[in-house]
Structure 1
Amino acid sequence: MRETHGHVKATEGSAAFGTPRMPTRPMTWSMTAKAKPHKPSEFESVLLAIAAHDLRQPLQVIQLAHDFLGRGDRTTSELCQLQSGQAAIDRLKNQLDELVAALQLSEPAKRVKLTPVRVGPLLQQATYAKKVAALTKRVSVRTVPTSATINSNALLLGTVLRNLVSNAVKYTQPGGRILVGCRHTGRSIRIDVYDTGIGIAGDQMPLMFDAFTRLDPTRRDSLGIGLFIVRQAIGILGHRIDVSSTPCRGSRFSIFASRAK
């Protein structure tokens, strides 16, 4: 079964370096995808300018007003309202950041200079960024230390890893586990993000990297462009990404990049 951005095939799951173990010899779907950033229209460029500047200013005003209202003693009811308001502000901030990142990556890909990048610090930063969200959901996140160095771009690769860890936290139920690490495979380094989340159905595989696609359509807390950003960044970097998943059991997102000499 061949797709526009790569190929989809059935494989068996594994439990490498203490990864969350799936059922005995499960059949999972695996997808290899390479992105080809498209040329943006003038409309997209205008959207980027609006999102990056015009929308941030009123959001900052709302945050300042919210902080002012939160000063002093407040009743329990008022505190609940303030917490609800802050959650809405944070959600808007996250969605705005996603939108800006997606629009930036849709611009004509300038030649990105690949340099030696240490994988370990990027893995730590990606998991730390979602530490609070994971603790709130009672999801365990573990990072395996590594000294691996690859040819990449730290900014873009960091964006990819943050989005993958964010997705793992978002789609893993309370009590679940997430493991982030890497291993040597031939001349490449494979960076893995494992989770014991809801998994991905086979018919969703070819569509998961499209913009505004939600793996769980009942969720309304994101724009559904996290994996689109991943695809765009991976294409610019020239890396490869594989996805293996078993519905209701978990997923593994793997990035392949060449080792730095």
Structure 2
Amino acid sequence: MHEMQGHIEAIESSAAGGVPRKPKQPITWNMTAQANPHNPSEFESVLLAIAGHDLRQPLQVIQAAHEFLGRGVRTTSELSLLQLVQDAIDRLRDQLNELVAALQLRGHATGVKLTPVRVGPLLQQVTYENEIAALTNGVSVRTVPTDAMIKSDALLLGTVLRNLVSNAVKYTQPGGRILVGCRRVEQLVRIDVYDTGIGMTGDQMSRMFEAFTRLDPARCDGLGIGLFIVGQAIGILGHRIDVTSTPCGGSRFSIFADWAE
């Protein structure tokens, strides 16, 4: 059994409350990235990157849903899938509105203002948005419920989580699993995205946050800026991200943010 599957089992057997335990098995590669909040011009740049890349994902949900509906005999599940399409359209409209509002901050502040953000609804939303892609790829995605609240920005944090879960779906083989959850670590909250996917080598990890880097072009035909956006957004938020991975054994992305009382 892959080492990352040990991570999954460790979390699934955790106590009530949705708090994952530390993995029991060691992982081959580890990298920690810490960045300070960026200046306003970089803040504007990452918002433009989100508009050019992250907003394509709801459209991919629409495309996947239509392709799914076109296969074989249609059943009563069609109504449910059509609702997912409508939800994706609504999500795209909402994100555009949020980006316009965020860009308006440019004239009033030097960056984002961190406010209390509930982690649970964000995790549930991100999981929901990736259901069709996961179903199409034969991958299961599960979110551990949580009441945790952190100091962050819901738009940028949602973008980070959306990219991490989307990447996990793309790079996990059929029959694989993805688990999203969080736990409190002293005055911090650690948000984890685990997968049993193809993992990364040390060389891949050293450049994974660079723009236009595609870890496996055969599996993904995107521009390769998903993890670049993650790194930029984490820097703006002043959070920390740890990445642990084993080639052919899966990966874990962990975001550390201050607990909000």
CA contact (8 A) 1:34 1:231 kept: no
Q: Say yes or no: does 1:191 pair with 2:191.
A: yes
Secondary structure, in 3 states, of the residue corresponding to 2:120?
helix
Q: How many Å separate the matches in 2 of 1:127 and 1:227? A: 18
User: What does 1:1-261 align with in structure 2 at a 5 Å threshold?
Assistant: 15=7, 16-18=10-12, 25-35=25-35, 37=38, 110-261=110-261
Give the CA deviation at 1:18. 2.2
Computing the radius of gyration over CA atoms, which structure comes out larger, 1 or 2?
1
CA contact (8 A) 1:26 1:246 kept: no
Give the CA deviation at 1:183. 0.5
2:85 is matched with none
Q: Are residues 24 and 253 of structure 1, via their aligned partners in 2, closer, same or farther at CA, if it must alter by over 3 Å?
A: closer
Secondary structure, in 3 states, of the residue corresponding to 1:151?
strand
For 1:17, the aligned partner's letter is: I
Secondary structure, in 3 states, of the residue corresponding to 1:257?
strand
After superposition, the C-alpha distances for 1:172-230 in whole angstroms (9 at most, x for unaligned) are 00000000000011110000000000001011111000000011133452110000000
Give the CA deviation at 1:138. 1.1
CA contact (8 A) 1:172 1:198 kept: yes
After superposition, the C-alpha distances for 1:149-179 in whole angstroms (9 at most, x for unaligned) are 0011111100000000000000000000000
Provide the identity percentage. 70
Q: Are residues 219 and 118 of structure 1, via their aligned partners in 2, closer, same or farther at CA, if it must alter by over 3 Å?
A: same
TM-score (norm 1): 0.66
CA contact (8 A) 2:40 2:110 kept: no
Secondary structure, in 3 states, of the residue corresponding to 2:116?
strand
CA contact (8 A) 1:150 1:259 kept: yes
RMSD value, Cα:
3.8
CA contact (8 A) 2:172 2:196 kept: yes
TM-score (norm 2): 0.66
Q: How many Å separate the matches in 2 of 1:203 and 1:38? A: 29
After superposition, the C-alpha distances for 1:12-71 in whole angstroms (9 at most, x for unaligned) are 976332289xx9844421111134657869xx98xx59x87xxx9xxx9xx9xxx9xxxx
